[in-house]
Amino acid sequence: MSDIALLLRQCGSPLYVYDLDQIRAAYRDFATCFAYRPLDIHYAVVCNHNHHILQALAACGAGMHANTPGDAHAALRAGIAPEQIMYTGSNLNAADLDYLLQQGIALNLDSLDQLRDLLAHPRCPAEVGLRLCIDDRPGNRIGVSRPELQQALQLLRGTGTRLSGLHMYAGTNNLNADHFLQAFERLLAAAEALPDLRYLNLGGGFGVPYQPGQRDLPLQQLGQEISARMQHLSEQRRRPMGLILEPGRRLVAAAGTLYMQVISVKERPERRFVGVDSSVANIVVPSVYHPYHAIEALTPRGPLLDLPTDICGASTHSRDFLGRDLRLPALQPGDLLALKDAGAYGYAMSSHFLNRPRPAEVVKDGASWLLSRRRENLDDLLALQIAEPLAL
Ligand SMILES: Cc1ncc(COP(=O)(O)O)c(C=O)c1O
């Protein structure tokens, strides 16, 4: 029996598996593309908060990017020091802000109201960063506009808090280097108004070629272009400016696989429907909203059939397809399938939709396998339901 079949037998099916060596290699590949120093690479916890992944990346030298207080909490619980964590996000309520400030986590805020909240807080830090809108599209809600940046500087005047960083985020899964460069030029132009600038944060969004034959992001070239601009900036300012990067998907997507088992096969003249024990509640796929994921058969049963094959989830939800129009070999109930590139925004976006327990997570570290999160059971689905009288 294969390792994967044994794992599924022990940990249940479907099952997420992550390869830590592959994540370490992806981190090294990424880091070598950016020669500029000082450089801090903060892994974006939002795309996979598995604590073994956080620890493995921290051991490689990564800090952490927190999109929410939950991300910061996951990083802290994985043993990462607060100084290694930077928050960038939107719409913190009072409790969220309190939590992050109490932990001593550096913040990049994205609105004037959030800046006012910070300035009114008893733990207001000496430095803050702001996230800048990357373009002037009227529908762009993220970040502060250039006029708002000017207002922010006025708000900060005489407060003892300096605007020391500017952040951008080019949007997720970009394979086009120019998109980053255009937004970075805006960041550089906006930074001219900041006398106390200490760092620029290029954010994340470094794409992954999910489709076979898809052109990859020219990361080496992007790294050189960004490094040259940072070098120039440091020379202009006559002091070293920090560069911060927040890759998520690029570091972990390819290292994760969602394994599942075939339950039933309906072979019709024009199409084959292969029912599996996973669903779109386990991983958000193209039929809902996500990139394409390759699906491979693990049980060898000869050549790929010409018959278009849909991989159907374990529900009758009309969009519960994990893959459509695939070419796969003959399949039988009990066969194993591997949904590839599932390490980013896989488990992190899984849910209790369709009322099925979420899968376990296993990490492979060198030659050893570790159960990193147990599979949920039916009681877990109901665990938070209570009947507590409320006095108003
Ligand atoms: C501010 C910020 N940085 C980094 C990331 C990570 O993005 P990606 O996984 O596309 O690299 C995100 C994702 O939402 C983000 O919002």
Distance 14 CA to ligand 1 centre (A): 27
Maximum C-alpha span of the chain? 75
Residue 204 Cβ inside 6 Å of ligand 1? The answer reads: yes
Whether ligand 1 lies within 6 angstroms of the CB of 174 is answered as no
β 360-365/368-373 pair status: antiparallel
Q: Which two tokens stand for residue 163?
A: 């605007």
What's the first-to-final CA gap in the chain, in angstroms? 60
Helix, strand, coil: what percent of the chain each, to 5?
30, 25, 45
Within 10 angstroms of residue 316's Cβ, the number of other Cβ atoms is: 8
Report the distance separating Cα 156 and Cα 307, nearest Å. 64
> Domain 3-15+253-376: which topology?
Lyase, Ornithine Decarboxylase; Chain A, domain 1 (2.40.37)
Task: Give the alpha-carbon dihedral of 90, 96, 101, 103, to 10 degrees.
Answer: -120
Tokens 């903060």 locate to 42
Ligand 1, atom 16, residue with closest C-alpha = 67
Beta-bridge partners for 297: 337
Can you tell me the distance from the alpha carbon of 154 to that of 150, in angstroms, rounded to the nearest whole number?
A: 7
Spacing, Cα 88 to ligand 1 middle (Å): 9
Ligand 1: residue of 49, 67, 176, 201 to mutate (most ligand atoms within 8 A of CB) is 67
Whole-number pLDDT of residue 141:
87
User: For residue 88, which atom of ligand 1 is closest to its CA?
Assistant: 1
Cβ of 46: how many Cβ atoms within 10 Å?
23
Q: Is 354 left (phi over 0), alpha (psi -120 to 50) or beta?
A: left
**What is the per-residue pLDDT for 288?**
52
Establish whether the linkage from the previous residue to 38 is cis, with ω within 30° of 0: yes
How many other CB atoms sit within 10 Å of the CB of residue 75?
28
Could you list the pLDDT tens digit for every one of the 392 residues in the chain? 899 999 999 999 999 999 999 999 999 999 999 999 999 999 999 999 999 999 999 999 999 999 999 999 999 999 999 999 999 999 999 999 999 999 999 999 999 999 999 999 999 999 999 999 988 888 888 999 999 999 999 999 999 999 999 999 999 999 999 999 999 999 999 999 999 999 999 999 999 999 989 999 999 999 999 999 999 999 999 999 999 999 999 999 999 999 999 999 999 999 999 999 999 999 987 755 567 899 999 988 999 999 999 999 999 999 999 999 999 999 999 999 999 999 999 999 999 999 999 999 999 999 999 999 999 999 999 999 999 999 99
Closest-CA residue, ligand 1 atom 5, reads 204
Domain boundary assignment for the chain = 3-15+253-376, 20-252
CB 253 within 8 A of CB 341: yes
CA distance 315 to 158: 60
3-state secondary structure of 381: helix
DSSP assignment letter at 343: S
Q: State the pTM of this model.
A: 0.97
Query: Is the minimum distance from the CB of 249 to ligand 1 under 6 angstroms?
Result: yes
Peptide bond into 14 cis (omega under 30): yes
Residue type, 384: L
CA nearest to 152, candidates 192, 106, 112, 197: 112
Closest among 310, 359, 317, 316 to 331, alpha carbons compared? 310
Ligand 1 probe mutation, 131, 140, 169, 201, most atoms within 8 A of CB? 169
| Per-residue pLDDT, 66 | 98
Beta-bridged to residue 296, according to DSSP, are 338
Q: What residue type is assigned to position 337 of the chain? A: L
**Beta strand 242-245 with 199-203: parallel, antiparallel or unpaired?**
parallel
3-class DSSP state of 273 = strand
The CATH homologous superfamily for domain 20-252 is: Alanine racemase (3.20.20.10)
Q: How many CA atoms lie within 13 A of 90 on its CB side?
A: 9
Residue 110 in contact with ligand 1 by CB distance below 6 A: no
Name the residue among 365, 273, 357 with its Cα closest to residue 313. Answer: 273
The pair of structure tokens assigned to 43 is 């892994």
Strands (E), the chain: 15-19, 39-44, 63-66, 85-88, 106-109, 127-131, 162-167, 199-203, 242-245, 256-267, 272-276, 295-297, 309-312, 321-326, 336-339, 360-365, 368-373
280 and 287 in contact (C-beta within 8 Å)?
yes
Check residue 289 and give its pLDDT.
58
Cα–Cα dist 349/258, whole Å: 13
Query: DSSP string covering 182-213, please?
Result: HHHHHHHHHHTT-TT--EEEEE--B----STT
